[in-house]
Amino acid sequence: MAVAQHREKHFNASDRVRDLVIGMADGLTVPFALAAGLTGAVAANRLIVTAGVAEIAAGAIAMGLGGYLAARGDAEHYASERRREQREVRDLAEHEEGEVVEIFERYGLTRADCQPILSAFHRDHDAWVDFMMRYELGLEQPRPGRALQSALTIGGAYVVGGLVPLLPYMLMTSVERALAVSVVATLGALAVFGALKGRYTGTGALRGALQTVVVGGLASAAAFLVARWIGA
The pLDDT tens digits for 101-124 are: 989 988 888 888 889 989 999 999
Give the C-alpha separation, 166 to 173, whole Å. 13
| pLDDT at residue 232 is higher than 70 | no
Query: Is 62's pLDDT higher than 90?
Result: yes
Classified as helix, coil or strand, 39 is strand
- pLDDT at residue 11 in the model: 44
Q: What is the mean pLDDT of residues 45-66?
A: 90
Range with lowest mean pLDDT among 8-12, 186-190, 214-218 = 8-12
Domain residue ranges of the chain, discontinuous segments joined by +:
14-73+144-231, 77-135
| Angle of the 146-171 helix axis to the 45-91 helix axis, nearest 10 | 170
- Span 122-176, pLDDT tens digits: 999 999 999 999 988 888 888 888 889 999 999 999 999 999 989 999 888 888 8
Alpha-carbon torsion 161, 166, 206, 222, what sign?
positive
pLDDT at 61: 93
* Rg value, the chain, Cα: 25
Q: What's the Cα-to-Cα distance from 41 to each of 36, 44, 193, rounded to whole Å?
A: 10, 9, 31
What's the half-sphere exposure (Cβ side, CA atoms, 13 Å) at 162? 28
* Of 61, 75, 65, 77, the residue nearest 27 (C-alpha): 61
How far is residue 225's CA from residue 32's CA, in Å, rounded to a whole number?
11
In the predicted structure, residue 5 carries a pLDDT above the cut 60 = no
What is the pLDDT confidence band of residue 16, given thresholds at 50, 70 and 90? confident
Q: Per-residue pLDDT for 10 more than 60?
A: no
